[in-house]
Structure 1
Amino acid sequence: MSERPRLVRAGRAMAVATAVSRITGFVRTLALVAALGLGTRLLDAYTAANVTPNTIYELVMGGALASVLVPLLVRTAADDSVDGDLFAQRLLSLVVYGLSIVVIVTIIVAPFIVGLSVPGFTPGQRELAVVFTRYFMPQILFYGVSATLSAVLNARGRFAAPMWAPVANNLVVIVTAVSFLLIGGTGRLESLTQGQTLLLSVGTSAGVAVQMAVLLLSGRRAGFRPRLHADPRGIGVRRIAAMAGWTIASVSAAQAVFVVITRLASHAGPGAVAVYSNAGTLFQLPYAVIAVTVITGVLPRLSRAAADRDLGRVIADLSQSLRLTGVVLVPVAAALITLGPRLTTVLFDHGNASPAAARLTGLVLAAYGLALVPFAAYQIMLRVFYALGDTRTPALISVVVSTVTVGTCLAAARLYHGPHLVVALAACSAIAYTTGLLLTAYALRRRMGRLDGHRLLNAHVRMLVAAALAAPATAGTAWVVGSATGTTWTASLLTVTVAAAAGGGLYALIARALRITEFRTLTAALRPHNL
């Protein structure tokens, strides 16, 4: 009997929202690359400053919000003795007050933060990065409020709205980048005026503020009134802190990884920081559209099943999530590996971007392709522990993964230098996430007794066989078309389109021949009469 595509159909709206969000996010990336120039010191300074608020937010609160609050809000909603709205309002108040203090402190110590994260920058880059960083720090508060409102909406079964909100952010930044070009902005750091700096600074932070405003409006439409309380106590801060303590430890380890990699990349040559960051952003696209949609949709269900002590349902949802994610991400990973440089030439070789930097981004992306499937599976499996109320085990595993990442990256830095180093850094992530996947699977099996392992292994082996057979056709088609058309942007676009169609079509045929039921489930759910 064919499997009913519950997760696919239930998550269709989320998938559409996430896809639009990520697509506009890539248009945003392309606009910034065209405006500031991939491979330039200007884009490196902007990139280093723009990721800093995200890093600090994750370090201070992001991991706790993502992994603890949704299960906690779900349990609170099921408890008739607790006023769910009052609980959420006090929680939001605590986030606002706490992160406001963080914003003030980080603005003051911005020079130290920049010096720590990018020691390889020139004095001019460092000075500009400090200016950008100070303008970008309020984003920490905006991200915190947005994440809290998203958790409230998710706990109430509203999944699509939080995934649409980043679209507003992306659109504001796209307008900012286009405006920068229209007023004569170039990729040269030396020619940047005060007005252009202010435009980039205010426009970027305004995007996150608009994203927060969209979620505030969505919360009100869902019946939640986002009021601040002078006294945010009464929500069990100690209990939340205890639950989030291990998560904060794992997030801290992950941010240590970010600092190490950014420091190493800043020594790899002009533009290396932005090259590595843009490849990572592209790597996250398929993961976000597919895996994050599954994670967001399944976490409240896993939390309810865990609360009911229904481990059978937990295992069934986990197995289906991993298999439906894998059937899409396995061929996507193969495509990234075989078509990476051509793909990034199509995406990034515009405006002030350097063709050499665009190609290097593709090589980094190809190395990242090795990590896509292990990373997605690892992230999905970690959520089961959070649903079970266990933050200690995933935190310990995450610390091990971060340790492996740092160790392999430092070893790579001894073996590789210059542009080759950023490719090696991406390859290190594949080693780390595969380690995390194996450790997480082992720990879950011990915790729950079984993992539907035979079915998972059988399905993924078939997917890998199908992708392995389709990959040579993809590479061969790319070589033939590329040899005939050359390496221009138009030629790369034609090569990627034809090669992807050939590889994707062959994968679909082999998947049917191998009777990969997840592929049939997916295609059945996407047929027009099911949309």
Structure 2
Amino acid sequence: MSRLLRASAIMAAGTMASRVTGFVRTAVLVAALSSAHMGDAYTIANAIPFILFDFLLGGVLSSVVVPMIVRRQKEDPDGGRAYEQRLMTLGTIALVLLTVVAVLLARPLIGLYTDDGWSDRKIEVAVILARFVLPQIAFVGIGALAGAILNTRDRFAAPMWAPVLNNIVMIGVLVLYYLTAGEAGADVDRVSEADLTLLGLGTTAGIAAQCLVLMISLHRVGFRFRPRFGLREARLGEMGRAASWTFLYIAITQFGFLVTTNLASGAGDEAPGGGPTAYANAFQLFQLPYGVIAVSVITAMLPRMSRSVAEGELASVREEFASGVRLVSVLLVPAGLLLMVLGPAVTVLIYSWGNNDLDNAVYIGNVLQVFGVALVPFSIFQLLLRVFYAFGDTRTPAFVGMGNTLVNVALSLAVARFLPAQYVVMGLAFSFTVSYIAGTAVAWTLASRRAGGLNGRTVAGGLSRMYTAAIPGALIALGVLWLTQELTVLSPLSAAIMLAAGGGAGMLVYLVVAHRTRIPEVSSLVGMVAGRVRR
């Protein structure tokens, strides 16, 4: 637990800096573009590079590449150095080719993720932006390969801190865009070609800077890039067999994203401000606690569980997983409840500036409140996937993902069919939540069979104590919210008061109650913080 806590703390610090600067970037983005039509065009265009990367490489990195590098490091005479060089060589070539093809197909790619109701000019703006941002695929992929190699060497800091530079570059670009474009920058009919060029190239420049930082960090730990083209030695056949189910899993989840995005795009045409930008911004805020807390633990867990499986130590796998769930949940439980209470306060403080208005910001907060329910089950689901990946099993996650997506798509279609346009995106967040609650239950059952148990009673007992300790804090936050609304008009200032008083008091009460009830993970966190303060 202590080793996992220390590694997670290092990554969490970098992830926190990344997420905080990321929210500054998003706030400036919404202020410059609004969360209506121009914001929707940028959101769709900028999502496509990451969709393609995730489909063709991202899932493989998390499920196949890391465990294979770990095995090569243990079994190859050179500690896996040649294998790493071949992966980097072949990955770079594939990513560059994919980028070229994607740029050429920018218009049909945009067409996949937009509704028929979009105007010709809105589609044109999205296509122009897509052609500038699609080269991100190569930079994201090369950086991800570098990060995977760093993680197998237990070097977690650089992959978590590198996005900070990307955010800083983007903040500068967006401020310049806002100053030069003004109100026209939020209007698809008035925005100029020069402004779109600045926005698109600036977005890609930020990712390129992030990639450069990761490559420098990789060089510093001893990796030396030497082109190697031996396909047989790269074990692409073995990787392909292991990754085939991962590709299916990613394809299934991307199908779900395609449906969600099209439904949100249609809703945004009928109710401006309630489209894909609202969904994406709420989801990004929902990802903050998950990214800071859960991703750090997940990243540290996978190499360790992979080694334990290779050595036949299933008891270590079970203990690693149970420790990870408890460590993740100790802060995600109160965070989820506080998001359900204070979601609109968060979004009003961040998104009600510049070219965006207060009502649009409140709507994003309503979507965030729904996502708050999903925070714990979504995070546990991601941890469960790593149990399968540690065993080299990518088939089971594909079937679980298929069930997840079918539930999500069915509920999403029902939401779009029966709810008014202004409630559709909130309904899409509800569909996402229900699908992950169901998926977590199924994945837990299957992973428990594979690992010979997952210490379920211990985990369930810990979660119940955490929720019991978190409820008083959530009630205090609710009281502060009600009192502030009675005394003031909703504004960024009143939202800041709600967050500082309600969120701060709520979390403090939770930590005190949890520490007094001897929840060990809270005691470990308190002890670690107190030790650093005494230094």
**Distance change in 2, residues 1:29/1:384 (3 Å):** same
Counterpart amino acid of residue 204 in structure 2:
S
Please name the residue that 1:138 is paired with. Answer: 135
Query: For the residues of structure 2 that align with 1:118 and 1:188, how far apart are their CA atoms?
Result: 18
Q: Alpha-carbon deviation of 1:473? A: 1.8
Query: TM-score normalized by structure 2?
Result: 0.96
The superposition leaves residues 503-526 of structure 1 with CA deviations (integer Å, 9 ceiling, x where unpaired) of: 122222322343322211221122
Match of 2:256 in 1: 257
**Distance apart, 1:191 and its partner CA:** 2.1
Matched with 1:117 is: 113
Call closer, same or farther: CA 1:131–1:184 in 2, change over 3 Å: closer
* Matched-pair contact (CA < 8 Å) for 2:122–2:189: no
Q: Say if 1:344 and 1:362, in contact at 8 Å, map to a contact too.
A: yes
* Counterpart residue number, 2:216: 217
Query: Are 1:429 and 2:432 counterparts?
Result: yes
For the 8 Å contact 1:14–1:163, the answer to whether it is kept is yes
- Corresponding letter in the other structure for 1:447: R
Q: How does 1:223-262 map to 2 (within 5 A)?
A: 223-262=222-261
Alignment-mate amino acid for residue 98 of structure 1? A
Given that residues 342 and 369 in structure 2 are in contact (C-alpha distance below 8 angstroms), is that contact kept between their aligned partners in structure 1?
yes
CA distance in 1, matches of 2:84, 2:312: 26
**Which residue does 1:378 correspond to in 2?**
381
**In 1: Cα distance, 2:347 partner to 2:312 partner:** 47
Structure 1 equivalent of residue 418 of structure 2: 415
Q: Does 1:205 align with 2:204?
A: yes
1:89 aligns to 2:77 (yes or no): no
Does 1:148 pair with 2:151? no
* C-alpha separation in 2, matches of 1:333 and 1:35: 29
Corresponding residue of 2:398: 395
State the identity %.
39
Distance 1:43 1:460 in 2: 39
Q: Distance in 1 between matches of 2:472 and 2:337?
A: 10
Does the residue aligned with 1:185 lie in a helix, a strand or coil? helix
Counterpart residue identity of residue 253, structure 1: I
Aligned residue in 2 for 1:406: 409
**Stretches of structure 1 lacking an aligned partner (at least 5 in a row):** none
Query: Which whole-Å CA distance do the structure 1 matches of 2:241 and 2:463 have between them?
Result: 37
Q: Which residues in structure 2 correspond to 1:162-173 (within 5 Å)?
A: 162-173=159-170
Q: Which amino acid in the other structure matches residue 69 of structure 2?
A: L
Alignment of 1:281-320 (within 5 A): 281-320=284-323
* Deviation at residue 369 of structure 1 after TM alignment: 0.3
One-letter identity of the residue aligned with 1:371: A
Tell me whether 479-488 or 305-314 shows the greater mean CA deviation.
Answer: 479-488
Aligned-pair CA distance for 1:448: 2.0
Deviation, 1:462, is 1.0
* Unaligned runs of at least 5 residues, structure 2: none
- Letter of the structure 2 residue corresponding to residue 106 of structure 1: A
Question: Which of 482, 485, 490 is the matching residue for 1:487?
Answer: 490
Counterpart of 1:43 in structure 2 is 39
CA contact 2:90–2:229 (8 Å) conserved in 1: no
Letter matched to residue 131 of structure 1 = I
Shift of residue 418, structure 1, vs aligned partner: 1.4
Give the length in aligned residue pairs: 527
Letter in 1 for 2:50: N
Give yes or no for the alignment of 1:58 onto 2:61.
Answer: no
CA contact (8 A) 1:268 1:419 kept: yes
Partners of 1:280 and 1:428 lie apart in 2 by 13
Q: 1:410 to 1:356 in 2, by over 3 A?
A: same
Partner of 1:34: 31
Tell me which amino acid in the other structure corresponds to 1:331: P
Contact 1:93 1:232 in 2 (8 A): no
Q: 1:342-373 CA distances to partner (integer Å, 9 max, x unpaired)?
A: 11101111111121110000000000001000
What is the identity, as a one-letter code, of the residue corresponding to 1:108? L
- 1:82 deviates by 5.0
The Cα shift of 1:152 comes to 0.8
Deviation sequence 1:63-109 (CA, Å, 0-9, x none): 11121111111111111435622211111111112122222222222
Alpha-carbon distance in structure 2 between the residues aligned to 1:121 and 1:100: 31
Residue in structure 2 matching 1:352, options 345, 351, 355: 355
The alignment's C-alpha RMSD in Å is 1.5
Report how far residue 382 of structure 1 moved: 0.9
1:159 match? 156
Rounded Cα–Cα distance in structure 1 between residues aligned with 2:511 and 2:63: 35
Contact 1:482–1:492, Cα closer than 8 Å, also in 2: no
Amino acid at match of 1:165: A
1:176 aligns with 2:179: no
C-alpha separation in 2, matches of 1:257 and 1:445: 27
Write the deviation string for residues 47-73 of structure 1: whole angstroms up to 9, x where unpaired. 110001000111122111121111111
Work out which of the residue numbers 337, 342, 365 in structure 1 matches 2:340. 337
Deviation of 1:177 (Å): 0.0
